[in-house]
Structure formats: C-alpha cells, structure tokens
Amino acid sequence: MSKKPYLGFGLGLRTEHYDAILKQKPAVDWFEILTENYLVPGGKPLYFLDKIRENYPLVMHGVSMSIGSTDPLDWEYLKEVKALADQIQPAWISDHLCWTGIHGKNMHDLLPLPYTEETVKHVANRIRQVQDFLERKILIENVSSYVTYHQSQMTEWEFIKEIIEQADCHILLDVNNIYVSAINHEFNALDYIKAIPSERIYQIHLAGHSNNGDYIVDTHDHEVVDEVWNLYKKTIEYHGKISTMIERDDNIPPLKTLLKELNYARKLATAAK
C-alpha cells in the first residue's frame, strides 16, 4: 500500500470565515469543504472557493452519497462531485458510513446502519463502484448514533473494519463520534480506536457536542471537550500522526478562536509522538 499523505492541521471551511481567510491567510494547513455547498452553478461560494484554493490544500467532505442506502447510487450526484473534484483537485474525497434516505427521498441526516454481513457486503460493493467511478479511493467516516438495532451481529468497529477491508477504502475517523456513540451505547471508545488499522486512517475529525445527561447528541456547536482531547491524544499515540481537523457547524465563533483550538490539537499531537 502506498504511504498515506499527511496534510497537518485543518479546519472546516465556513462562509462566515471567507473574508478573514483571504485577508489574514491564517496558519491553517488545509481546509475541508462541505461538498454539497459548492454543487451550485456559480456565485459567492464558488468564487471564494477558487480564491482560497490558490493558498490552501482542500479536501472534499460530502453528506449525501448515502452509501448505505438500498436505493441505487445517484450517478448524477456523483458526476457533480467528480466535476467539482476535477476543478479544485482535493487531496481526497470523503463521505459518511450511513444512509440518508430511500425511495428517492432525502432525510438530510446521517442515519445508522445495522451491523450485519448483509450490510457489509452491500456497502463495500457500493464503495467499490463509487471508487471506480471517481477514479480514486475515498474515505468513509464513522457517524455518531443513538440507536442499536436488534439485528446487528457485530460491534461497530468490527463492521467498519470489515467494510474498509472489503472495499479497499480509507477511513475518516471521527473521534468525537466514537466518544458520543461510546456513551450512547455503553462501549469502550479505546476498543474501537485500537481496532482500526492505522494505515487506513487518513484523517481525523474533532468536534464538540451537547450532553443531555443520559445521552449525547453530536451537534458540532461547542468546543471539543476534554474527554475527546484525551481520546485524540491516545489515538495519535497508538496510530502515529494523522491529518486532523476541527468541525464546527453551528454557533460558529471567530476564526481566531478556532485557530486557538487547532493549535491545541497541534500541541497534543506533537507531544504524543
């Protein structure tokens, strides 16, 4: 297997920060864009995307590939994704290990899959088709979940490991999602993290969440919590250095605040090596 690329420390690109990024050229190693936001004919988002691309590496992160759906793959959507990738040349393309709807509907949510052999085969087969079409390996991200299905026959980490091996794809490991799911489903987050093969982990997501006491909802509207920082540090100690970024989708603070948080990640990762 070829050596995996290392991008350093990135942030999610958000419209609120367009101007600040162009003016201040902040010390962010790369940006992750939300693919769907740029699948439009033209206007401001695409204008800023081109400008920012001149100064920074980008990766594309999608939310509606619906790789686990029983609907056919949406080739029109994939064509648009491919065209955007041709234009901005991202370091890689990722989406989530989930389904978002069937019968042509979109629930606009990252819905969990049952961990069965049937699902593994189905999803791995679809990832292969997408990779053939996009002519590149993709990254799939573990989602946070609030339900466990009776029909599940294995743990989430066994499920994800089998899929990435059968599909020969990479993984975007969301450490916050693992933390959230570990609380919601009462498993040990480190068991999960250690089960994932190091060479498959191309990227890490860090984010904040809302704690409701008995369960946790993955809201991306807060700072990263100490428990997640701690897990992140252990992830880097165990797997070695991995491109890392912080996701913030709601309650978005000024760029400065996110840069501070990103520097904290940098410090932790450097100390962990």
Partner 1 sequence: MPENLLQLQNNFQEYLMQEKQDIKQSIMSTEKVSAEMRLAIYGEAYRSRLHEALEASYPALKKYLGEEEFEKLCYRYIDANPSVYRSIRWYGDQLAQFLKDPFLSELATLEWTLALVFDAKGGSVFQLQAMSALSPDSWADMKFIMHSSVYRLNFSWNTMQIWQKLMEEVSPPTLKKNARSEGWILWRQELTSRYASLPQDEAWGLDALLNGATFGELCEGLCEWVAEEEVALRAASLLKGWITAGLIVDVTIK
Q: Which of 178, 180, 185, 187 is nearest to 238 (CA)?
A: 178
- CB-CB contact of 182 with 192 (8 Å): yes
Number of C-beta neighbours around residue 10 at 10 A? 24
* 140, HSE (Cβ side, Cα atoms, 13 Å): 30
Nearer to partner 1, 180 or 204 (CB): 180
Whose tokens are 């093969």? That residue is 197
Q: What angle do CA 73, 157, 177 make, to 5 degrees?
A: 80
- CB-CB contact of 153 with 116 (8 Å): yes
- By CB under 5 A, name the one of 17, 126, 200, 205 that touches Fe ion: 205
Residue 114 binding target from Fe ion, partner 1, none, CB below 5 to 8 Å by type: partner 1
CA dihedral 199, 203, 208, 210 (to 10 degrees): -60
Q: Binders of partner 1 among 107-136, rule CB under 8 A?
A: 107-109, 111, 113-114, 116, 118-119, 121-122
Question: In whole angstroms, what is the distance from residue 47 CA to residue 226 CA?
Answer: 37
Q: Binders of Fe ion among 125-184, rule CB under 5 A?
A: 174
Would you count residue 87 as binding partner 1 (CB under 8 A)?
A: no
**In the complex, minimum distance from the CB of residue 145 to partner 1, in angstroms, rounded to a whole number:** 9
Give the contact letters, 214-253, x = binds to partner 1 (CB under 8 A), - = no: xx-x------------------------------------
**In the complex, minimum distance from the CB of residue 245 to Fe ion, in angstroms, rounded to a whole number:** 9
Residues that bind partner 1 (CB under 8 A): 36-37, 39-47, 64, 68-70, 74, 77, 99, 101-109, 111, 113-114, 116, 118-119, 121-122, 146-151, 184, 186, 214-215, 217
Residues that bind Fe ion (CB under 5 A): 174, 205
